[in-house]
């Protein structure tokens, strides 16, 4: 058993987990709930084992480093963080319905990591610039932020579906989503996930700056990746200001959560392929 097999299995278990959550949502079978959650936890543990094994394998190759260094590893870690955060949300707020919206994102990330032709799965040694403890701090802080924004966007989609179905006249459409948490609850949770993500994104930008300063003597160089992370930061700062001082809630915030994730994904992914800069791990591997 090697790490790529375990991570390959993870892709399918997350798909199955997604199907279970959607089944739960559509057919309203609460008895399946604990099974769904347990299954997701098992899938998450398989992924954790896969990542740990990959770490061990890198040491066996004599180039030991945390599995957080190229596009493949970061996408795997992104899906891992989404599931970890989602499970915390499920535990804290005692609702499984969010799973039908959040878990698919983790599945999509794993599916992309497993099947996309343009990212390499091989464990490669670290170039000198990446040999720093700030690497781990930077990647973890950024991805906790990204995962939190992903969950905010999943909740945003959920909010829009529910609010549309409530306006709908047919009782069928209405009843399909009436098991979902109430709109004010979703709205509050979107806000909380955005705040949580915002703090971690701030920490991610700061750790990145400290790292850049220890490697090159410049904590900020307006490299495209840095600039886009700042743009994303501004996006959420504006959204939080609009909520606090203009009282924006509901559909507007839900939409902004979805747009926010698009900005996050562009910062994370698009910049590597479309714009050149220091974080070129996407295009080079």
Partner 1 sequence: MKLIDQIWAFFASVQLAILTLCSIAVTSIIGTIIPQGEPYTFYVTKFGTKTATLFQVLDIHKMYSSWWFYGLLGMLSINLIICSLDRIPSVWRIITADNLAISLDRIEKIASLRRWELPQEKSNSIDWQSVLSNTGWSFQTKKCGQTILSFSQKGRWSRMGVYVVHLSILIIFFGAIIGHFFGFKGSVMIPEMRSTEQIFSSPDSKPIDLGFTIRCDSFAIEFYDNGMPKEYRSGLSILENGQEILQKDIRVNSPLSYRGITFYQSSYQAHQEFLLQITETDSGASRQFSLPFQKQESWKERNLQFGIINAEATGQRALRSKLWLKAGDGPAITQWLADSEDFSFTGDGKNYSLKVKQLYSTGLQVAKDPGVWIVYFGCSLLLLGLYMAFFLSHRRIWLYKHKAATSSIIYFAGTANKNKAAFAKTFSKLTNLIDQTICHDLEQHN
Structure tokens at 104: 């698919």
Nearer of residues 168 and 218 to partner 1, judged by Cβ: 218
Q: Tell me how far, at minimum, the Cβ of 123 lies from partner 1, in Å.
A: 11
**Of the candidate residues 9, 219, 249, 278, the single one contacting partner 1 (CB under 8 A):** 219
DSSP letters for 133-155? THHHHHHHHHHHHHHHHHHHHHH
The piece of 34-42, 75-83, 131-139, 142-150 that touches partner 1 (CB under 8 A) is 131-139
- Positions in 17-56 near partner 1 (CB under 8 A): none
The piece of 64-72, 112-120, 155-163, 222-230 that touches partner 1 (CB under 8 A) is 222-230
Nearer of residues 173 and 199 to partner 1, judged by Cβ: 199
The piece of 81-89, 122-130, 174-182, 252-260 that touches partner 1 (CB under 8 A) is 122-130
Residue 202 touching partner 1 (CB under 8 A)? yes
Q: Is 226 exposed, middle or buried (0-12, 13-18, 19+ CB in 10 A)?
A: buried
Torsions phi, psi for 124 (to 5 deg): -115, 155
Residue 242 touching partner 1 (CB under 8 A)? yes
CA dihedral 275, 214, 65, 8 (to 10 degrees): -30
**Any alpha helices (H) in the chain, and if so which ranges?**
3-27, 33-60, 71-93, 99-115, 134-167, 171-176, 183-216, 224-246, 250-265, 271-274, 281-284
Cα–Cα distance between 144 and 123 in angstroms, integer? 23
Residues whose CB falls within 8 Å of the CB of residue 228, separated by 6 or more in sequence, listed in order: 263, 266, 267, 271, 275
Residue 280 touching partner 1 (CB under 8 A)? no
Cα–Cα distance between 17 and 23 in angstroms, integer? 10
Structure tokens at 193: 């996930």
Nearer of residues 41 and 215 to partner 1, judged by Cβ: 215
Residue 227 touching partner 1 (CB under 8 A)? yes
Residue 92 touching partner 1 (CB under 8 A)? no
Which residues here bind partner 1, judged by CB under 8 A? 63, 124-125, 127-129, 131-132, 134, 188, 195, 198-199, 202-203, 206, 209-211, 213-220, 222, 224, 227-228, 230-231, 234-235, 237-238, 241-242, 245-246, 271, 275
């Amino acid at each position: 058993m090697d790490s790529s097999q375990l991570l390959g299995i993870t892709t399918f278990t997350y798909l199955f987990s997604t199907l279970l959550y959607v089944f739960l949502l559509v057919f309203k079978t609460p008895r399946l709930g604990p099974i769904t959650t347990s299954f997701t936890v098992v899938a998450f543990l398989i992924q954790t084992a896969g990542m740990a094994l990959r770490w061990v394998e890198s040491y066996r190759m004599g180039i030991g480093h945390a599995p957080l260094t190229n596009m493949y590893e970061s996408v795997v870690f992104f899906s891992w963080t989404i599931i970890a955060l989602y499970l915390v949300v499920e535990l804290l707020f005692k609702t499984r319905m969010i799973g039908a919206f959040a878990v698919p994102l983790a599945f999509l990330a794993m599916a992309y990591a497993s099947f996309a032709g343009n990212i390499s799965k091989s464990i490669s040694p670290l170039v000198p610039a990446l040999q720093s403890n700030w690497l781990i701090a930077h990647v973890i802080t950024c991805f906790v932020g990204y995962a939190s924004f992903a969950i905010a966007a999943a909740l945003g989609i959920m909010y829009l579906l529910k609010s549309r179905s409530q306006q709908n006249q047919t009782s069928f459409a209405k009843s399909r989503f009436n098991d979902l948490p109430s709109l004010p609850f979703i709205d509050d949770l979107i806000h909380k996930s955005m705040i949580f993500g915002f703090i971690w994104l701030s920490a991610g930008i700061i750790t990145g700056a400290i790292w850049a300063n220890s490697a090159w003597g410049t904590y900020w160089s307006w490299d495209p990746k840095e600039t886009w992370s700042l743009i994303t930061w501004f996006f959420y700062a504006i959204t939080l200001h609009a909520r606090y001082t203009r009282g924006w809630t509901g559909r507007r915030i839900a939409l902004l959560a979805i747009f926010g994730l698009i900005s996050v994904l562009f910062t994370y992914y698009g910049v590597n392929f479309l714009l050149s800069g220091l974080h070129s791990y996407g295009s080079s591997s």
